[in-house]
Structure 1
């Protein structure tokens, strides 16, 4: 369904340092990194879409995370949800909800929510039963 997701950032170096360990923990591979532009992207194993990109806003305006947009990453296990959430907090994320079951979505929904250092809301979720 999706081709790619772009998330704007205000400080590219800080954002790159934040996202690199998260993407590695999720098993997403670097697609490109061009600090001079600046932008960087990751894709699923084997170069599959969708891919995820961080960059300065293309129009040159200041970054604004908005209220309501969220990017959710699928994790292969609940342990990976826990690990990514922990890594995010260590990299300066602000918690929007610790790892746990959210049965109001469905019985096996195990997710964690946080905001990156630029205020972008992110989720890491495993939909599989234990």
Structure 2
């Protein structure tokens, strides 16, 4: 469905450390990193699409997180959701919802919500029943 998703950031090194840890936890592979631009991208195994990208806004204006916007990443196991939340906080993120079941979405929805160091809202969710 998606070609790519681009998230604006302000401090590339800080954002790269945050997203590298998160993508590694989820098994999403690095595709490129160009510090001169600066931007970086990751893809799921067997890519090349969809891509997840971070970088400074193209118009060179300061990054501003959107209100009501969120990128959600799928985890295969609930333990990955827990680990993603832990890593997000360890790398400068802030919690927007601890890992747990959210049966109002569906009986097996196990997710967590957090913001990256630039204030972008993210979710990591597992839709599978408990192992």
TM-score (norm. length: structure 2): 0.97
Partner of 1:61: 61
Answer yes or no: is 1:39 the counterpart of 2:39. yes
Answer yes or no: is 1:115 the counterpart of 2:80. no
- Report how far residue 47 of structure 1 moved: 2.0
Q: Secondary structure at the match of 1:36?
A: coil
**What is the total number of aligned residue pairs between the two structures?**
130
Q: Secondary structure at the match of 1:18?
A: helix
The 4+ residue runs of structure 1 with deviation greater than 3 A are none
CA offsets 1:55-75 (integer angstroms, 9 cap, x no match): 000011110001000000000
Kindly report the root-mean-square deviation, in angstroms, between the aligned alpha carbons of the 2 structures.
Answer: 0.6
Question: When you count strand as a share of all residues, which structure comes out higher?
Answer: 1
Structure 1: tracts of 5 or more residues without a match? none
- Report how far residue 49 of structure 1 moved: 1.7
In 2: Cα distance, 1:97 partner to 1:46 partner: 31
Structure 2: tracts of 5 or more residues without a match? none
TM-score (norm. length: structure 1): 0.98
Q: Is the 8 A contact 1:31 1:47 kept in 2?
A: no
CA offsets 1:81-128 (integer angstroms, 9 cap, x no match): 001110111001100000000000000000000000000000000000
